[in-house]
Structure 1
Amino acid sequence: MDIELVAEGLQFPEGPIAMADGSIILVEIQRQTLTRVTPDGNRETLADLPGGPNGAAIGPDGAVYITNNGGAFHFFEANGLNIPGPTPPTHAGGSIQRVDLKTGSVKTLYQDFDGKRLVGPNDLVFDKQGGFWFTDHGCSTPDGRKYGALYYALPDGSKIVRWRDHFVSPNGVGLSPDEKTVYMADTMLGRLWSFDIAEPGVLTEAAPLMPGNVVCNLPGYQLLDSLAVEASGKVCVATIINGGITAFAPDGSTEHYAFPDVIVTNICFGGPDMRDAWITASGTGKLYKARWPRPGLKLNFNA
């Protein structure tokens, strides 16, 4: 696969959005900003987002919605790579935020659920009705991990529901083309989950002792990060250690596309035929562009 380097020097980029004007909006987790990257690689800071902006998506009002992990990672350098490490002791929890692209103003929509602070919100996806599914990655502690969860919320700040919890490390989240399935990648397990949707924003009742359906567990030591869905229904998940993108078919079969970074964290689709793919290579702080073999699924909202 031919790949093009679009930008470098990014501070752990994630959450890319292919915008209608050809630019890419993404978060820089370590730099704590929402950033626009133009096709020629120039960068513009759109908003400062203290903590740890981890995921981004355009909502029905044209604003950018952010999953902010609250500074859940301590970054360190090893072998020339920028690596997200343990959670600092100062970490208090994360939030869901809204950024107005016209003014750069930031509003916090959610910080807690049922009286408990969100731990480390990670990624989000909007459905056709304008609500969004989001993951809480949890975080590490000196005594072990705080578990993560899968949520659904409305963009006006009026409703948040935790649908599944006690996951090891929820990360990427996406919807099937018919929006009858929500997919969720678990980083540490190298596992892609799927959950059946009964109606918008509502999951079907879980089977006894089974929080969801296992699409596939990757063999060996491979970690999963964020994801995007193809128009065909394949789920393209950024893969760490085995650096690249792993495309999962709904039947569990996979194919892997390598990229030059062991910490590949996300992919998004755009362009006239939806075959332009942008990939965040976060360990080296780079944004790549490639021609994908199949079209990606067009997201419900853009700006």
Structure 2
Amino acid sequence: MVYRKHALALAAALLLASATSAYAQDTSRTPAIAGVVAAGTPVELIKDGFNGTEGPLVLPDGSLIFTETPANRITRIAPDGSTSTYLDNTNGANGLAFNADGDLYAVQVQDARVGIIQPASSARTLAVRYEGESFGRPNDLVLDRKGGVYFTDSGPNANAPARPAGQPAPAKPAVYYISPEGALTRLANDIERPNGIQLSPDENTLYVANTAGEYVLAYDITGEGKVGPRRNFAKLEGWRKTDTGASSSGADGLAVDASGRVYVASTAGIQVFSAKGEALGVIALPKPPQNLAFAGSDKKTLYAVGRGAAYKIATLTQGYGGRAK
């Protein structure tokens, strides 16, 4: 009887070890996603232990930069995988973008604002409040061909420090547009937690990730600083309600490829959708990603950052070439 109990315990332990091993394999090699990634493509860990991981963006030489927001730093990943500091003292830069002149735009969370942070000669603030209300936590941004800036303000994190006495409460979470001339327009303020933001390659559609929602949202762009009604674009895996009644999909950063597919960083991994919102597959990662971008000299490497780690995956498709991200 004792032998039987030991045997059963050993079998259970082996089963658990096998399941753990299988999970590790599932998160280190991808399933086939037609036109996107070949079956068995490895998910390569570049490095772990960063102090925050957000805002990935390709540089002209094909290397990648991303933000370590709590560390007040932007870090570069070279083609050989080595890392170095690209820029310090970023005012807590989070999402990043380049304009046609190579100016680096950032949403910034320490002293909440949106502006240009590099080069120094071009550095300036573009927006710091809306109708007298300060931003809560600017999160992500994307630039259109004309130099207009779309950005999200997701509101303060639950663990954000208390605001100083007498300082007004921040504006509600919202999506905004800054025209090339500097005019600020609020496009939407009915999203629970707007996060990642991206444009379709033809710039006719604006995508917004709602971290609290079950769908990636989409808006038709009807003019400069104008959008049509919001619609559900793509249903996310991993959406759930917590014990407190709150809901979350973990939907975060967005990217698009040359064919208009949409890539979403979420708690399920990297979720891939067609330009029509059809689910094409999920690339699982060892840690849930927070943001992602195509990089490399041919933009055929998909980088994902999140929870202090950075990964890369070789792809069959190219990232959209009309902007850095």
TM > 0.5 fold call: yes
Q: Kindly tell me: are residues 228 and 275 of structure 1, through their superposed partners in 2, closer, same or farther at Cα, counting changes over 3 Å?
A: same
Q: Which amino acid aligns with 1:132?
A: V
Asked if 1:258 corresponds to 2:281, the answer is no
Asked if 1:148 corresponds to 2:173, the answer is yes
Q: Which amino acid aligns with 1:121?
A: P
Contact 2:146 2:180 in 1 (8 A): no
How many angstroms does 1:59 deviate by? 1.8
Match of 2:55 in 1: 15
Contact 2:201 2:322 in 1 (8 A): no
SS in structure 1 of the partner of residue 253 of structure 2: strand
TM-score of the pair, normalised by structure 1: 0.79
The correspondence for 1:166, drawn from 173, 179, 190, is 190
TM-score of the pair, normalised by structure 2: 0.74
Match of 1:238 in 2: 265
How many angstroms does 1:141 deviate by? 5.8
How many angstroms does 1:68 deviate by? 1.5
Q: In structure 1, how many angstroms separate the alpha carbons of the residues matched to 2:158 and 2:285? A: 31
The correspondence for 1:2, drawn from 31, 42, 45, is 42
Q: Which amino acid aligns with 1:113?
A: Y
Q: Which moved more, 1:160-169 or 1:287-296?
A: 287-296
Q: Kindly tell me: are residues 33 and 147 of structure 1, through their superposed partners in 2, closer, same or farther at Cα, counting changes over 3 Å?
A: same
Pairing of 1:205-216 with structure 2 (within 5 A): 206=229, 212-216=230-234
Match of 2:75 in 1: 35
Match of 1:270 in 2: 295
* Count of matched residue positions in the alignment of Structure 1 and Structure 2: 265
How many angstroms does 1:289 deviate by? 1.5
Asked if 1:100 corresponds to 2:141, the answer is no
How many angstroms does 1:139 deviate by? 2.5
Percentage identity across aligned positions?
32
Higher strand content, 1 or 2: 1
Match of 1:193 in 2: 217
Match of 1:81 in 2: none
Match of 1:116 in 2: 133
Contact 1:185 1:225 in 2 (8 A): yes
Q: Kindly tell me: are residues 45 and 176 of structure 1, through their superposed partners in 2, closer, same or farther at Cα, counting changes over 3 Å?
A: closer
SS in structure 1 of the partner of residue 141 of structure 2: strand
The correspondence for 2:309, drawn from 277, 281, 286, is 286
Higher helix content, 1 or 2: 2
Gaps of 5+ in 1: 71-92, 207-211
Which of the two has higher C-alpha Rg?
A: 2
Contact 1:25 1:35 in 2 (8 A): yes
Contact 1:139 1:146 in 2 (8 A): no
Write the deviation string for residues 70-95 of structure 1: whole angstroms up to 9, x where unpaired: 3xxxxxxxxxxxxxxxxxxxxxx721
Q: In structure 2, how many angstroms separate the alpha carbons of the residues matched to 1:171 and 1:235? A: 15
Q: Kindly tell me: are residues 56 and 155 of structure 1, through their superposed partners in 2, closer, same or farther at Cα, counting changes over 3 Å?
A: farther
Q: In structure 1, how many angstroms separate the alpha carbons of the residues matched to 2:203 and 2:173? A: 23
Contact 1:125 1:134 in 2 (8 A): yes
Q: Which amino acid aligns with 1:125?
A: V
RMSD of equivalent CA atoms: 2.5
Q: Which amino acid aligns with 1:31?
A: A
Q: In structure 1, how many angstroms separate the alpha carbons of the residues matched to 2:324 and 2:157? A: 33
Q: Which amino acid aligns with 1:54?
A: N
Q: Which amino acid aligns with 2:72?
A: Q
How many angstroms does 1:252 deviate by? 3.0
How many angstroms does 1:106 deviate by? 4.9
Q: In structure 2, how many angstroms separate the alpha carbons of the residues matched to 1:229 and 1:299? A: 11
Q: In structure 2, how many angstroms separate the alpha carbons of the residues matched to 1:265 and 1:278? A: 11
SS in structure 2 of the partner of residue 30 of structure 1: helix
The correspondence for 1:202, drawn from 198, 214, 226, is 226
Match of 1:49 in 2: 90
Gaps of 5+ in 2: 1-40, 160-169, 241-248
